[in-house]
Every structure is written in C-alpha cells, then in structure tokens.
Amino acid sequence: MYVFYNPNPLGKSVGDCVVRALSKLTGYGWVRTFLLLVIECLVQFDMPSSDKVWGDVLKQRGYRRHTVPDYCPDCYTIAEFAHDHSRGMYAVGTGAHVVAVVDGYYFDSWDSGSEAIVFYWEKE
C-alpha cells in the first residue's frame, strides 16, 4: 500500500509534506504546487502548512473535508485508511503530517502508514 513518492527536484523531504501530497493529488510538479500554495498563503497571510491554506486549495479543486471519529484517537492509521479506501483521491491529515492516498495506495517520501489520522479531504 505504501509507494515512495518525492517530487522535490532536489530530493529534499523535510517540511514539504503538504507540497508533496498536493503534487500527487493535482498532478502538478513540485514547483507548480508550491507556487499554488504560496499564492493562497499571500491571500490568507499564512504558511503552506496551515490546514486552512492547503485545505482551501483542495476545496477549490472539488475536495470535501471529513473528520475521523474521536472514540479511538490513535487507532486508525494511514495504512488502514488506504486499505479501506481502494478507490478515490484523498489528502489524509494527522495534525502534523499530510499524505496523498490514491486508489488504496499512500504516497510519501517515507513509510508513514503507522501514523494516526485526524481528518481527510476527499475528491468529489
């Protein structure tokens, strides 16, 4: 279910999980995705990692936000989410990390499958 994915032109993978995830979901390269986020940052006077900034970028592209029930906050992982969602495109948020899930596979620069999720954006 895990697929290595790092579109960063220099292979860096620290602090740009939002750019990586949205790059996968939009089909844009790292630079175009980063610029898309920066424009939204300027509109909101906030940073690319702000849930509101990248969430609004997804919302403008037909995604809808969902929360994960809080009855077991550490028990639903990225890997389990990917397994349960074998079709569709999702941005999965842990509160500190963002991962793209596409058709049951999660794409990241490291195997983040054991991270617990808090919310997700679904392409409608």
pLDDT digits (tens, 9 = 90+) for 10-65: 999 889 999 999 999 999 999 999 999 999 999 999 999 999 999 999 999 999 99
User: Model's pTM, two decimal places?
Assistant: 0.94
Strand-by-strand arrangement of the 105-108 sheet = 2-4, 105-108, 98-102, 89-93, 119-123, 63-67
- The per-residue pLDDT for range 73-111, each reduced to its tens digit, is 668 999 999 999 999 999 999 989 999 999 999 999 999
Rounded to 5°, angle at Cα 123 from 117 and 124: 130
Q: What share of the chain is helix, strand, coil (3-state, %, to 5)?
A: 35, 25, 45
CB 17, CB 108: distance < 8 Å: yes
Determine the length of the chain.
Answer: 124
